């Protein structure tokens, strides 16, 4: 029994090491290439680039990712509570239909999405990017929130209902105070997903001054690039990832506790 457990842990850590190597390898290559020709001067060149305004792009990314995160947290928490604790006709069908939408890739709807935002006059605006960012990320967060709310003891809800609490009171006074870790988890994941989004900003924004870092880094590319310009491109990619990595590292403990929230149901 002990040998079997040791073997299981060995296999698990081996798989994790392989996955970690797959994720770290591209970052290491980019970091090495950013110093290969030009050294630290590549980073200075990026920060003082005539077209690529790093700090402006960072601000745009924080605006898009932060605004989207706030909306996602509000919608997913309210919807998660409704699907977990409220009874209404078609609840299960609607929930499964929403989860089925997770299988639709963003790339498959770029044409109608572009046409819709253009018709609404939202193309080349922050709102026009935030709306699809929320739409494509909120369903995963809804799943996390509902699973967590399903794990909250029903006795607490019954006691609050007997005391005369309405659904909104149950949500704000019982569910939210017990949901700190999962709310932090949803916030961090939403922020990182929206920060790393590449397709939507490139599809819906044409004003370079509104580009987030994922779109603005393309301004470092040229048709024919020298080795030094390639090093600057890699430097821009490294600078692009730093804020999201910092957010992830500082919130790692919330992610761990949030992912296990709701895993065991009462």
Residue 23 lies in a domain: no
Cα–Cα distance, 8 to 58 (Å, whole number): 43
Residue 25, domain member (yes or no):
no
Task: Supply the pLDDT for residue 90.
Answer: 85
226 inside domain:
yes
Residue 262: per-residue pLDDT = 45
What total number of domains does the chain contain? 1
The pLDDT, as a whole number, for residue 33 is: 86
Question: What's 236's domain CATH number?
Answer: 1.10.3720.10
Predicted TM-score (pTM) of the model is 0.83
* Residue 7 counted as domain residue: no
Residue 117 lies in a domain: yes
133 within some domain: yes
Residue 16 lies in a domain: no
The answer to whether residue 26 is domain-embedded is: no
Amino acid 131: pLDDT: 94
Mean pLDDT by 10 residues, the chain (266 residues): 78 90 88 84 87 89 94 93 86 89 86 91 91 92 89 80 78 84 88 90 89 87 78 87 81 62 45
């Amino acid at each position: 029994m002990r040998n079997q457990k040791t073997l299981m842990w060995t296999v698990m850590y081996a798989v994790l090491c392989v996955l970690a190597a797959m994720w770290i390898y591209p970052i290491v290559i980019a970091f090495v290439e950013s110093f290969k020709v030009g050294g630290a001067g590549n980073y200075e060149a990026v920060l003082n680039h005539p077209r690529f305004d790093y700090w402006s792009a960072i601000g745009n990314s924080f605006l898009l990712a932060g605004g989207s995160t706030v909306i996602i947290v509000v919608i997913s928490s309210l919807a998660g509570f409704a699907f977990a604790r409220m009874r209404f006709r078609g609840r299960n069908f609607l929930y499964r239909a929403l989860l089925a939408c997770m299988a639709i890739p963003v790339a498959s709807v770029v044409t109608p999405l572009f046409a819709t935002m253009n018709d609404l006059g939202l193309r080349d605006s922050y709102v026009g990017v935030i709306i699809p960012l929320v739409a494509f990320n909120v369903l995963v967060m809804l799943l996390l929130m509902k699973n967590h709310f399903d794990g909250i003891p029903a006795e607490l809800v019954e006691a609050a209902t007997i005391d005369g609490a309405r659904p909104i009171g149950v949500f704000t006074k019982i569910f939210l105070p017990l949901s700190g870790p999962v709310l932090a988890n949803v916030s961090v994941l939403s922020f990182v997903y929206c920060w790393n989004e590449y397709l939507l900003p490139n599809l819906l924004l044409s004003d370079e001054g509104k580009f987030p870092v994922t779109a603005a880094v393309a301004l470092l590319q040229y048709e024919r690039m020298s080795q030094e310009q390639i090093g600057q491109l890699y430097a821009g990619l490294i600078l692009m990832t730093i804020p999201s990595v910092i957010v992830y590292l500082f919130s790692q403990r919330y992610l761990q506790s949030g992912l296990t929230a709701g895993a065991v149901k009462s």
